[in-house]
Amino acid sequence: MNYSIVSSLISYNKIDTGTSKRFNCPICEGINSLSVTNFGDCIKFNCFKASCNVKGVIKNELSNKSFKIIDNLPNIKNSTDKIVLNKEDTKYWRTAMFPADLDRYITNNNCSYAYKSGLADIRYDYQKNRAVFVIKNSRNEVLDATGRALYTDALPKWYRYGRSRLPYVCGTKHSRHAVVVEDCASATAISHLVTGVALLGTHLTEEAEKVLSSKFDRVSVALDKDATMKSLSLIKQLKWSIANLNIIILERDLKNEDKGNLKGVLKLND
Ligand SMILES: [Zn+2]
């Protein structure tokens, strides 16, 4: 497999966490066409030459075993509409008779407005006891979902139902300003002002990058100050496809922020 050539190239060159480097591609010999980004928990590489297009993710330590080749996955990028969750995944969800824990979660995390106005489709998974944030397409079909545990200490805190790798997006149709946030609750908490986008993972998937670059004129990355490295690496990646890009370092999680402060925190008055 050609991929091991890329992996050894990467292992011989130190790339600091949160930074990207360009190399001559060892597969197609393209000059500086191979971009390699170190996200800390994984290293992502791709060649910009259309004729080559080699890409992949190396998780944690550099080893061929932990290699995951994105190219072998079905072409999700162009067929997101065909990914719909099957009945088995959704059969324990309900849209009414929420338990007190879920009502409390919705209220305490400032999701009430988005939920009541229909911007966010939130359901209850009574088997897993989770608040389900549903990801749908424009035809209202359920593509994927992620469920927040309502039991304290339940793991994982967020459970991904499908395999779409799509981000969670919450906002009105007219909003052309996306704000990348920590999780679904934060995305819903700001959806009356901008479009909240939760990546649902530690790094930017191609699907998320495509959503951000095709549907929005402006993108802000608004993560907690503990996630500054993650914010910087997102900015580094997104700057290839989004011109109007800024970073907001949060003192407090958006879902816990006072409603009256949101505009200021998101720098919407500038
Ligand atoms: Zn190449």
pLDDT digits (tens, 9 = 90+) for 151-190: 988 899 999 999 888 999 999 888 999 999 999 999 999 9
Q: Are 208 and 166 contained in the same domain?
A: yes
Is 82 part of any domain? no
Residue 108 structure tokens? 């305490």
Please state the φ and ψ torsions of residue 244, each to the nearest 5 degrees.
Answer: -95, 95
Dist CA 19 CA 22 (whole Å): 10
Among 29-43, 78-92, 99-113, 232-246, name the one with the lowest average pLDDT: 78-92
Domain boundary among 21, 54, 77: 77
CATH number of the domain to which 41 belongs: 2.20.25
Q: Are 248 and 205 contained in the same domain?
A: yes
Q: Are 257 and 128 contained in the same domain?
A: yes
Is 15 part of any domain? yes
**Is 143:136 a contact under the CB 8 Å cutoff?**
yes
Q: What is the pLDDT of residues 188-234, one digit of tens each?
A: 999 999 999 999 987 888 889 989 988 898 999 999 988 888 899 99
Q: How far is the CA of 2 from the centre of ligand 1 (A)?
A: 11
What pLDDT shows up at residue 71? 36
Q: How far is the CA of 27 from the centre of ligand 1 (A)?
A: 5
Query: 102: domain range?
Result: 87-265
Domain boundary among 25, 49, 77: 77
Confidence grade of residue 270 (pLDDT, cut at 50, 70, 90)? low
What pLDDT shows up at residue 82? 59
Dist CA 44 CA 54 (whole Å): 11
Is 270 part of any domain? no
Q: Are 125 and 19 contained in the same domain?
A: no
Q: How far is the CA of 82 from the centre of ligand 1 (A)?
A: 29
Q: Are 49 and 164 contained in the same domain?
A: no
Cα-based distances in Å from 20 to 35, 65, 170, 227, 231: 7, 23, 30, 17, 14
Q: How far is the CA of 29 from the centre of ligand 1 (A)?
A: 6
Domain boundary among 45, 77, 109: 77
Contact partners, residue 96, CB within 8 Å, separation at least 6: none
Q: Are 180 and 247 contained in the same domain?
A: yes
Q: Are 137 and 201 contained in the same domain?
A: yes
The mean pLDDT value for 136-140 works out to 84
The residue type of 141 is E
**Is 125:148 a contact under the CB 8 Å cutoff?**
no
Q: Are 151 and 256 contained in the same domain?
A: yes
Is 120 part of any domain? yes
Residue 218 structure tokens? 């402006």
Q: How far is the CA of 23 from the centre of ligand 1 (A)?
A: 10
